């Protein structure tokens, strides 16, 4: 028996925005005594509920959820911090003899947890940051993104390249000799992971994303953004560059009508979906399910049940679920 077969289990549910990950995760968590660990880089922020499409309070009451609402929007949050918290949450779930389920659309978070990356702890380089800020002012964000691609193509594919702060930090890490994306040779898996990817054809994903944006606005998204600004969270914060927030800030500033902000958010979400699909389709071992298949939930349940039955007798967690 391979040593990897003796590792504790981790179920991963990933895929593009609006693909239906939350609903599938809730079904599987109830079926297999699971607990959900957030793998969405925006859902860690407090006060940002509607625009980040967090599970609702009712959904979160159904099964235990972890790593939501960790920090305020003006607090720093690194991949290294996320990994520490994620591994701690997963270990605690295993200790309760339940199944940890890593759920979200942030590809680098999922890859780092599932494949066992050790993320470099790079101290901020103020001189380099000043140089990069000057380059940003002189040449624009595209020049910085190209510099990041040369230094660390993996990080360039994963980072939000619309966010200057994140691009600058990724360059800082890469040029310190510790790639943000982390090489596979540096990974030591901690878990026996089953990765289920939930998707649909591109047109259907765009339709679902558009309906979600409209539903967010109807649910009070504009008021959520207004309240964040009233709390003193500036538009220049990395958190406030999240999908939809930048566009709604432009509306509140008078630069967009509400209809223009909604349409801009839809277009930005379509672009984000394309980047997510590109990322996840390059990941090895993903078992894809098309949500257009009426048996998608049943197929997922069957896949998970078979995988859990392969857990060696006497090994940790969920073998008999």
Verify that 156 and 291 share a domain, yes or no: no
Nearest-10 crossing angle of helices 126-139, 164-175:
130
Verify that 100 and 232 share a domain, yes or no: yes
Verify that 145 and 220 share a domain, yes or no: no
Name residue 6's beta-bridge partners: none
Verify that 82 and 35 share a domain, yes or no: yes
CA distance linking residue 106 with residue 38, whole number of Å:
10
CATH number of the domain enclosing 298: 3.40.50.300
Verify that 75 and 155 share a domain, yes or no: no
Three-state SS for 318?
coil
CA distance linking residue 199 with residue 284, whole number of Å:
16
Verify that 114 and 168 share a domain, yes or no: no
**High-pLDDT (> 70) share of the chain, %:** 91
Gyration radius of the chain's alpha carbons: 20
Output the pLDDT for position 164. Answer: 84
Output the pLDDT for position 320. Answer: 32
Output the pLDDT for position 112. Answer: 93
Verify that 200 and 260 share a domain, yes or no: yes
CA distance linking residue 222 with residue 270, whole number of Å:
20
Confirm whether 316 is domain-assigned. Answer: no
**Contact predicate 264/275, CB 8 Å:** no
Verify that 22 and 65 share a domain, yes or no: yes
Close Cβ partners of 249 (under 8 Å, ≥ 6 residues apart): 225, 229, 235, 240
Q: Mean pLDDT for each consecutive 10-residue tract of the chain (321 residues)?
A: 76 95 96 98 97 96 97 92 96 97 95 86 80 91 91 78 82 74 62 95 95 98 98 94 96 98 98 94 92 85 95 50 34
Three-state SS for 66?
strand
- Backbone φ, ψ for residue 286 (5° rounding): -75, 130
Confirm whether 321 is domain-assigned. Answer: no
Cα 148 from chain centre = 20
Confirm whether 30 is domain-assigned. Answer: yes
CA distance linking residue 148 with residue 69, whole number of Å:
30
Close Cβ partners of 193 (under 8 Å, ≥ 6 residues apart): 9, 10, 11, 12, 114, 285
Output the pLDDT for position 181. Answer: 52
**Contact predicate 103/196, CB 8 Å:** no
Close Cβ partners of 111 (under 8 Å, ≥ 6 residues apart): 117, 283
Close Cβ partners of 173 (under 8 Å, ≥ 6 residues apart): 120, 122, 152, 155, 179, 180
Close Cβ partners of 130 (under 8 Å, ≥ 6 residues apart): none
Output the pLDDT for position 110. Answer: 96
Confirm whether 199 is domain-assigned. Answer: yes
Verify that 71 and 100 share a domain, yes or no: yes
Give the structural domain span for 160.
Answer: 126-175
Output the pLDDT for position 94. Answer: 97
Output the pLDDT for position 175. Answer: 83
């Amino acid at each position: 028996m391979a040593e990897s077969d003796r590792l504790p289990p981790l179920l991963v549910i990933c895929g593009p925005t609006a693909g239906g990950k939350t609903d599938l995760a809730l079904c599987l968590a109830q079926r297999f005594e699971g607990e959900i660990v957030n793998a969405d880089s925006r859902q860690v922020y407090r006060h940002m509920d509607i625009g980040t499409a967090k599970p609702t309070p009712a959904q979160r009451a159904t099964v235990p959820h972890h790593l939501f609402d960790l920090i305020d929007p003006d607090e720093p949050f690194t991949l290294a911090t996320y990994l520490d918290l994620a591994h701690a949450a997963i270990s605690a779930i295993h200790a309760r003899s339940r199944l940890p389920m890593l759920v979200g659309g942030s590809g680098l978070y999922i890859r780092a947890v599932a494949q066992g990356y050790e993320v470099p702890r790079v101290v901020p380089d103020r001189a380099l940051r000043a140089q990069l800020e000057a380059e940003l002012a002189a040449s624009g964000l595209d020049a910085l993104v190209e510099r990041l691609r040369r230094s660390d193509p993996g990080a360039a594919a994963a980072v939000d390249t619309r966010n200057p702060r994140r691009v600058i930090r990724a360059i800082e890490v890469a040029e310190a000799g510790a790639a943000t994306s982390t090489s596979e040779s540096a990974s030591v898996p901690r878990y026996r992971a089953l990765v289920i990817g939930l998707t649909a054809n591109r047109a259907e994903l765009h339709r679902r994303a558009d309906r979600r944006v409209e539903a967010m606005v109807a649910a009070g998204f504009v008021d959520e953004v207004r309240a964040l600004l009233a709390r003193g969270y500036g538009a220049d914060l990395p958190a406030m560059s999240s999908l939809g927030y930048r566009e709604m800030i432009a509306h509140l500033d008078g630069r967009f009508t509400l209809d223009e902000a909604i349409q801009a958010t839809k277009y930005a979400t379509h672009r984000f979906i394309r980047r997510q699909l590109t990322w996840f389709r390059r990941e090895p071992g993903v078992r894809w399910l098309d949500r257009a298949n009426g048996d998608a939930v049943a197929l997922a349940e069957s896949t998970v049940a078979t995988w859990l039955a392969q857990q060696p007798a006497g090994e940790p967690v969920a073998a008999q679920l």
